């Protein structure tokens, strides 16, 4: 059985909604449209969440891979 790599998992959720936690305790939800080898991620329809509730709509954003703690299907 071949083990999945992180980029394999990101490819599986491409075009789907994801939840992203950042180092500064920001929580972002949006649809992942692309990513690169540095795990920089582009999200469309991005929203900042506060305690699971919508805080502000961000639109299309680029998240720097070095600031990401985890990415999870939303």
CATH number for the domain spanning 42: value is: 2.30.30.100
pLDDT over 90 at 74, yes or no: no
Domain membership of residue 52 as a residue range = 6-73
Note whether residue 1 is domain-resident: no
Contact 69, 21 (CB under 8 A): yes
Give the mean model confidence (pLDDT) for residues 48-61.
96
Is 30 a residue whose pLDDT tops 80? yes
How far is 16 from 30, CA to CA, in rounded Å? Answer: 8
Q: How far apart are CA 74 and CA 19, in angstroms?
A: 5
**Is 43 within a domain?**
yes
Structural domain count, the chain: 1
Q: Is the pLDDT of residue 1 over 70?
A: no
Predicted TM-score (pTM) of this structure:
0.89
Q: Is residue 33 part of a domain?
A: yes
């Amino acid at each position: 059985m071949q083990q999945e790599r992180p980029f394999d998992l990101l490819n599986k959720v491409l075009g789907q909604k994801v939840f992203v936690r950042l180092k500064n305790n920001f929580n972002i939800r949006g649809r992942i449209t692309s990513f690169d080898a540095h795990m920089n991620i582009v999200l469309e329809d991005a929203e900042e969440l506060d305690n699971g509730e919508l805080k502000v709509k961000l639109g299309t954003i680029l998240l720097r891979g070095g600031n990401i703690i985890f990415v999870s299907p939303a």
